Amino acid sequence: MNKHLKRRDFLKKTSAAAMATMAMGSPLSGLLSSCQSNISIPSTADSVILLFMAGGMAHTETFDPKKHTAFRKGMHSSEVLSTFPSVPTVLDGIHFSEGLESIGKIMDRGTLIRSYVAADLGHILHTRHQYHWHTCYEPPQSVVVPHIGSWIAKELGPLNPVIPPFINIGQRFTVGEGEELKAFHSAGFLGAEFGPFLIPDPTSGLESVRPPVGMSLQRFEARNQLYENLIQDSPMGEFGSDYQKESLKRSMEQAYILLNSPEAKAFDLSQEPKESYDVYNTGRFGLGCLLAKRLVNQGARFISVTTEYEPFFGWDTHDNGHTRLKDMKKLIDAPIAQLIKDLDESGRLERTLVIVASEFSRDMLTEGRPDLKVLDQVDVPEIIEDMKNYGMHRHFTDGCSILMFGGGIKRGHVYGKTADERPCKTIEKPIKIERIHQTIYHALGIAPDTHYLIEKRPFYTTPDGHGQVEFDLLKT
């Protein structure tokens, strides 16, 4: 670096470069046009909470258990369908896997989908399937595709102008496949103001809405003004479209308004009564559910809470599957159940759609799906001698479970079915991501033909606008 380059000039140049990079995901002048729909849909939901089990949650070990075979040395791997015994739920004849008793007790308030079929994307990579689940588009794409939360934020706007309309809780981008994860945590061509407000750690949520420790409010205000000046002098300020600049400016203004608002207290989990806090306090995911409840109460529009994707951790069970799932169930069972109960008792569940999902399922033997197997990524011995080999370690895409609650979703309903014997694939009412997304949009009153023109080409909420509503999931 030129030693004569002044610090402020250096900041200006590096900030300009950063802003130019950010601008790549935003529409250029003249390339984005809105197409208003003439279709009017009465909404049954105002808000969405997506609870994402990142890493591949095995359906036969959670919400769709099969015959239990206990571990013993010398057992054949082909014997194993479920490594946990099943336990009854509040619904007659419906069982969950042991360790999910709390969620089982609130299933009379929601719908269990047992027939979600993940896409065939070739060699199975978590971030490719997560991209597909969150955007409804198969990667790669020629444009930066908006996250479903960004579509909702754009079409409906904030319920409370102070609270960001799209909040993402629990995912760090400094672990594992950080750059790949960032690819779908984006508003893409919709503009920066509709991107996610990121809270990697819910216990530090308050830090996301106030100046860093040691910085006065006056200094923060001065820095905010400097930042705006740097943007104006950057390539975005010089060459960006009015849409780009206004979208980025609004996103900055929104964060600044939140900082000074009473609603900022919603991010402070220490304000929660101890009895309630202790139920949710199973870890970062559980406290993320608590933060989601508090934010919905303040008018959040779309909140995503994830168990976090980090390769070979959490639900990414390439070994020690049975042992690790014991721990994962302890993380999610009480918080999810308590979230549903709290929302229901406060009257907010009726207008809040809660979804529990994962990018795909798992099996001990099949990688991919039975009729389209892909390269095995785990060596599974024919004879199991070690506990580390006891579990669902391969990726399985032909039968996954999703839970849905509130927001117009049927109560006490079961949709679809998988086979009781291997391969435990979908055999009734297969449902794919396009139908899931369009059903969510329908509940929110977003028309099925919603799209934007990008380079004079229509870009829909679901590919080519072909997503269909699954009315069997809805009350009406």
Contact between 235 and 23 (Cβ < 8 Å) = yes
d(CA 266, CA 281): 17
Q: Tokens 């399985």: give the residue.
A: 396
Beta bridge partners, 192, equal: none
d(CA 343, CA 350): 8
Peptide bond into 235 cis (omega under 30): no
Give me the pLDDT at residue 236, please: 46
SS (H, E, C) 162-205: CCCCEEEECCCCCCCCHHHHHCCCCCHHHCHHHCCEEECCHHHH
Give me the pLDDT at residue 426, please: 98
> Residue 214 corresponds to which tokens in the numbers above?
């040691």
C-beta neighbour count of 358 within 10 angstroms: 26
d(CA 89, CA 100): 9
Strands 302-306 and 166-169 turn out to be parallel
Give me the pLDDT at residue 252, please: 60
In a domain, 1, yes or no: no
CA distances to 129, 144, 225, 237, 367 from 122, in Å: 10, 21, 48, 41, 11
Residues in contact with 210: Cβ distance below 8 Å, sequence separation at least 6, in sequence order: 259, 264
Q: Tokens 């959490």: give the residue.
A: 314
Contact between 429 and 416 (Cβ < 8 Å) = yes
Q: How many domains does the chain have?
A: 1
Contact between 391 and 317 (Cβ < 8 Å) = yes
Q: Is 26 helix (H, G, I), strand (E, B) or coil?
A: coil
d(CA 295, CA 303): 8
Contact between 396 and 366 (Cβ < 8 Å) = yes
pLDDT tens-place values along the chain, 476 residues long? 444 444 444 334 334 433 433 444 444 444 566 677 888 999 999 999 999 999 999 999 999 999 999 999 999 999 999 999 999 999 999 999 999 999 999 999 999 999 999 999 988 889 999 999 999 999 999 899 999 999 999 999 999 999 999 999 999 999 889 999 999 999 999 988 899 999 999 998 777 666 656 666 566 566 555 555 555 555 544 444 555 556 555 656 666 677 778 888 999 999 999 999 999 999 999 999 999 999 999 999 999 999 999 999 999 999 999 999 999 999 999 999 999 999 999 999 999 999 999 999 999 999 999 998 898 999 999 999 999 999 999 999 999 999 999 999 999 999 999 999 999 999 999 999 999 999 999 999 999 999 999 878 899 999 999 999 999 999 97
Residue at 358: amino acid letter: S
Residues in contact with 180: Cβ distance below 8 Å, sequence separation at least 6, in sequence order: 127, 128, 131
In a domain, 440, yes or no: yes
Give me the pLDDT at residue 245, please: 53
Closest CA to 446 of 19, 46, 15: 46
Burial class (CB in 10 A: 0-12, 13-18, 19+), 28: middle
d(CA 8, CA 13): 9
d(CA 271, CA 287): 13
Radius of gyration of the CA atoms of the chain, in A = 23
In a domain, 141, yes or no: yes
Give me the pLDDT at residue 186, please: 93
What angle (nearest 5°) sits at the alpha carbon of residue 322, between those of residues 120 and 433?
A: 25
Give me the pLDDT at residue 29, please: 40
Residue-wise DSSP of 214-243: T--HHHHHHHHHHHHHHHHHSHHHHHS-HH
Q: Is 433 helix (H, G, I), strand (E, B) or coil?
A: helix
Please give the DSSP secondary-structure letter assigned to residue 63. T
Q: List strand residue ranges (DSSP E) for 329-391, in order.
A: 352-357, 361-363, 368-369, 372-373, 383-384
Contact between 16 and 235 (Cβ < 8 Å) = yes
Q: Is 429 helix (H, G, I), strand (E, B) or coil?
A: coil
Please give the DSSP secondary-structure letter assigned to residue 474. B
Domain CATH code at residue 55: 3.40.720.10
Predicted TM-score of the model (pTM): 0.88
Give me the pLDDT at residue 10, please: 36
In a domain, 376, yes or no: yes
Residues in contact with 115: Cβ distance below 8 Å, sequence separation at least 6, in sequence order: 399, 415, 416, 417, 418, 426, 427, 428, 429, 430, 431
In a domain, 2, yes or no: no
- The domain of 44 spans 7-473
Give me the pLDDT at residue 221, please: 60
